[in-house]
Amino acid sequence: MTKKRTLTGYRPTGKLHLGHWFGNLQNMLRLQHEYDAYYFIADWHALTSDWQDPSRIRQYSEEMVLDWCAAGLDPDVCTIYRQSDVPEVAELTLYFTMVTPMSWLERVPSYKEQREQVTDKDLGNVGFFLYPLLQAADITIVRADAVPVGEDQLPHLELTREIVRRFNNTYGDYLVEPQAIVPKEGARVPGTDGRKMSKSYGNAIFISDTPDEITAKVRAMLTDPARKLKTDPGDPDICPLHQIHKLVSPDPGDIAQWDACCRAAECGCVAHKTKMAEDLVSYLAGFRAKRAELAAKPGYAWEVLEAGAERVRPVTHEVVEKCRELVGVEPKA
Ligand code: ADP
Ligand code: TRP
């Protein structure tokens, strides 16, 4: 039996942080063995927002591949490629522009939010407006069944399903409606300030941070804001320190103890931060060693991307050719 397909992509707009690691990467690691897996660097998506200054997109693309591989993605097991190496995605996006009403794009929540919140970039361009259509094309061009993502991406997945239905109703049942796969733990990893961890909020702990950087960031972390003194009882359920510690601790018994002594006001946040920083540093030690090993191989990431592009092209060619027939620009075979 042929394996089902999975696909996901990250924008190369910065380094990977714990939100990516727990919100998505752990699912990607597992799924590479269960599915025919396609993982790509969404460099055109990065360009939709960073078009005025694209100078770092290539560097971040390279670093992301190193981070992925050091985390355990195996380029011999899954297909790792770069979006811009597969221009068929742009052609499929164009076909999707035909079937998608503008109102569907106008109501995408991330579009509205980013237009309001991002003030240092010009997001009034058509490319940024088309962001979710390009994403729908990324997913459907390999006819992916399952898409591992963090919670924030669910509206994009729903829109993709709507577009696929409209395309199929109009031209014939061919494209696949994808399912989202969201992690049980870590669907929304908090940052050092308690908001969602995001590179754009300046609250991220990067997986490639040095032990000293990690320790300094953990020390400065927000805890339960209602807990001003050590003698005040705290609520671990709303404390970002507890939430991240739960994810990285090797010992559930230790977590239960920190939980209980916080609620009983018997231990302080400073001691907890020291322990959590130690646990986080050792949790990431294996990754750090592997990352250094891969970074020492010149050109490694670009070789991975080139081999991945070779592997994905036959799939994308086939899908685009079929779509050309369906939309009527080529005769039916
Ligand atoms: P950022 O918000 O830092 O720009 P991206 O948009 O590049 O991150 O996210 C890439 C993937 O990682 C997406 O699937 C997203 O849902 C997931 N992700 C990002 N941040 C978090 C977080 N704090 N918690 C859980 N998942 C996250
Ligand atoms: N929109 C995703 C993000 O901001 C990145 C992305 C682009 C993606 N194309 C995709 C994710 C296809 C999953 C599938 O993180």
What is the per-residue pLDDT across 62-121, written as a single tens digit (0 to 9) for each? 999 999 999 999 999 999 999 999 999 999 999 999 999 999 999 999 888 888 888 899
| pLDDT score of 185 more than 80 | no
What does the pLDDT read at residue 229?
85
40 CA from centroid of ligand 2 (Å): 9
- For ligand 1, atom 12, the nearest C-alpha belongs to 20
Can you name the CATH fold of 5-188+297-327? Rossmann fold (3.40.50)
Q: Is 42 in the pocket of ligand 2 (CB under 6 A)?
A: yes
Q: What is the pLDDT of residue 45?
A: 98
Q: Is the CB of residue 147 below 6 angstroms from any atom belonging to ligand 2?
A: yes
Mean pLDDT for the chain overall: 95
For the cut 90, the answer to whether the pLDDT of residue 333 exceeds it is no
Domain with CATH 1.10.240.10 in the chain: 199-287
Q: What is the DSSP letter of 236?
A: G
Going from the Cα of 197 to the center of ligand 1, the distance in angstroms, rounded, reads 8
Give 262-278 pLDDT, tens digit per residue: 999 999 999 999 999 99
In words, the CATH class of domain 199-287 is mainly alpha
- Say how far apart CA 88 and CA 90 lie, in whole Å: 5
Domain with CATH 3.40.50.620 in the chain: 5-188+297-327
20-60 residue pLDDT tens: 999 999 999 999 999 999 999 999 999 999 999 999 999 99
Q: What is the residue type of 95? A: Y
Structure confidence at residue 155 (pLDDT): 96
Q: Is the CB of 83 under 6 A from ligand 2?
A: no
User: How far, in Å, CA of 152 to CA of 136, rounded?
Assistant: 15
Q: Which ligand is nearest to the CA of 118?
A: 1
Q: Of all helices (H) and strands (E), which one includes residue 147?
A: strand 146-148
Q: What is the pLDDT of residues 276-311, one digit of tens each?
A: 999 999 999 999 999 999 999 999 999 999 999 999
H helices of 41-153, in order, are: 43-50, 57-71, 88-99, 102-106, 109-117, 126-129, 131-140
- Separation of 199 CA from ligand 1 center, angstroms? 9
Residues with CB under 6 A from ligand 1: 10-11, 19-20, 23-24, 149-150, 152-153, 187-189, 196-200
